[in-house]
Amino acid sequence: MLQEARIPKFAPRSPRLARLGVACVLSIALLSGCHTVEYYEREALASPWMQFDEDPAEIHWLEKTLFTREGSVGGVGTSAGGGCGCY
Amino acid sequence: MLLTPSRFALAALLIVSLAPLLEAQETESRRGQGQIGLRVGYYNTDDSGDGNPFYDESLTVIEPVVFFSYYATHSTNIHGSVSYDAVTSASIARLDDYEFTGATGSTYIAQSGASGDEYIGVNLGVLHHWSDALTTDTFGSFSKEYDYKSIGLGGSISSDVAESNATITGSLQLFYDELDIIRFTGNEEGIDHRTSLATTLRWYQILTPEVHGTLGVTLGFQEGFLATPYNGVVIEDSLLPPNPHLDNQANGLETTEVLPGTRTRVTAFGRYRVSLVSWLAGELEGRLYTDTWGIDSVTISPRIFYWPIPDRLRLRLGYRFYSQTPADAYNEHFFAPERYRTQDSDLGDFTSHTVGLQLRYAISARERVDIGGDFIFRSDYLDQFVASIGWSHDF
């Protein structure tokens, strides 16, 4: 009797995960290769219009309304699921 | 005692959050400084026969949030928030209708995501600077609504490297949720649980004197009761009479939503901002997502930050493209009770375009107000509007 081949449940997803992983590793490698920017060169980066300074309450609000109406989670400004209080 | 990943995470978070309290050294420069703020948010989804064809998915939420941040010592900051939601939703109305009239008498058809008209959430955290280069942040949270309680713990550790040209941050979040299983008929089936664990590795990098950005990966795992208890699924059968409980009077019977008991989620994300001139900056944010339920998604979000009055008035203009594939268990129409089944539009196949605008005005060097709104246009026509107004004061 032929035995049905056991295919790991995760297998169909692995090509996509592998692409994600490769993209991340390449991106991080590119970033780490950048030259050092000295303190005295950071005037523009220190200016108010360059700050990643979203209000935590604004992030909280978007997380539980806008982003929870999507199937995906995580990333900049969003938590990784759980805790609900979402809609 | 078995050292499970959850217990290990809990122990690590407790150590990191309590250790700053034992610290004796301190200087005066940041002690007593902080911020307090208030934000009121408004969210609305109007269902005009769109999305799920069988149910009304309309929903309105108004939420005030009070938040604070306070340096108890030079290196230890205590921060937190308290939020309250007033919710009006079609699913609450439906459950109420079932409760008061009985299932057979109900003609109000709804499924919009909320089963209670109130929510309260409390979040408290401790941030500690161990040195100029090393910072930890831990939090605990509790939230409660009619049929849902959640306890959350989390923390992060950040380290500056490469002469502060880069910061590496690792974070961990753990949520334990308790759900009252209340079905769309109002039937109660006891209590179930859901555990969510997520870890994120984030890399911040200064690229040039005008460009900096962040890259990261989040790995999440959930187990337990992951379906939405009050969500219904319609099994259509042309031999049955029109069902008065359904929005479109379809021929079919309702049954419960069933989804797998585990879910693994992977997200890769990045954000870069470039200073164009002294009053204008541009930003590009992107995200790739995949999970074991079959959902893949891509997000691309460019933004412009414009200061028409330098140091006073800031304008943020944004666009967000989002597209996702459906979950394996999702179908718009079922003709047999599949093992896993959902008709939740948020787990379906859709694309959305969001346009948003925010104005932030600095009343003084220490006080700011802002107002903003986002319109979300979805391909399944479940369009949404999100707005908020905020005030904050540094002390």
**Interatomic CA distance for residues B271 and B34, integer angstroms:** 27
Give the residue carrying structure tokens 């938040």.
B67
Confidence of residue B109 (pLDDT cuts 50, 70, 90): very low
Q: pLDDT value at position B24?
A: 47
Residue environment code for B68-102, b if the CB has 16+ CB neighbours within 10 A, otherwise e: bbbbbbbbbbbbbbebebebebbbbbbbbbbeeee
Judged by CB atoms closer than 8 Å, whether chains meet at A47 and B278 is answered as: yes
Tokens of B227: 């379906």
**Interatomic CA distance for residues B344 and B233, integer angstroms:** 8
**CA-CA-CA-CA dihedral for B221, B223, B229, B233, to nearest 10:** 70
How many H helices and E strands in chain A? 2, 0
Task: Out of A32-46, B124-138, B221-235, give the one with best mean pLDDT.
Answer: B124-138
- pLDDT tens profile B247-300: 667 778 888 999 999 999 999 999 999 999 888 999 999 999 999 999 999 999
At residue A27, what is the residue type?
Answer: S
**Interatomic CA distance for residues B230 and B339, integer angstroms:** 17
Mean pLDDT of chain B: 85
Q: A15 touching B, CB under 8 A?
A: no
- pLDDT tens profile B56-97: 777 888 889 999 999 999 999 999 999 988 887 655 555 555
- Chain A interface, mutation test: which of B82, B289, B391, most A Cβ atoms within 10 Å? B289
How close does chain A come to B147, measured CA to CA in Å? 10
Global ipTM: 0.74
Q: A4 touching B, CB under 8 A?
A: no
β-bridge mates for residue B223, sequence order:
B195, B262
- pLDDT tens profile B315-343: 999 999 999 999 999 998 999 989 999 98
Q: Is the pLDDT of residue B200 over 80?
A: yes
Chain A hits for B293, CB-CB cut-off 8 Å, are 71
How close does chain A come to B55, measured CA to CA in Å? 15
Cα separations (Å) of B360 from A47, B40, B369, B378, B388? 16, 15, 6, 27, 12
Q: Is the pLDDT of residue A11 over 50?
A: no
CB B85 within 8 A of CB A85: yes
Tokens of A25: 């590793």
- pLDDT tens profile B152-185: 999 999 999 877 889 999 999 999 999 888 887 7
**Interatomic CA distance for residues B30 and B77, integer angstroms:** 9
- pLDDT tens profile B378-388: 998 889 999 99
Measured CA angle at B390 (ends B385, B395), to 5 deg? 160
Q: pLDDT value at position B390?
A: 94
Q: Is the pLDDT of residue B146 over 60?
A: yes
pTM for the complete prediction?
A: 0.82
- Chain B interface, mutation test: which of A13, A19, A72, A79, most B Cβ atoms within 10 Å? A72
Tokens of B356: 């948003």
Which residues, 6 or more positions from B247, have their beta carbon under 8 angstroms from its beta carbon? B49, B53, B54, B55, B56, B109
pLDDT mean over A35-45: 81
Q: How many CB pairs under 8 A join A and B?
A: 233
How close does chain A come to B64, measured CA to CA in Å? 9
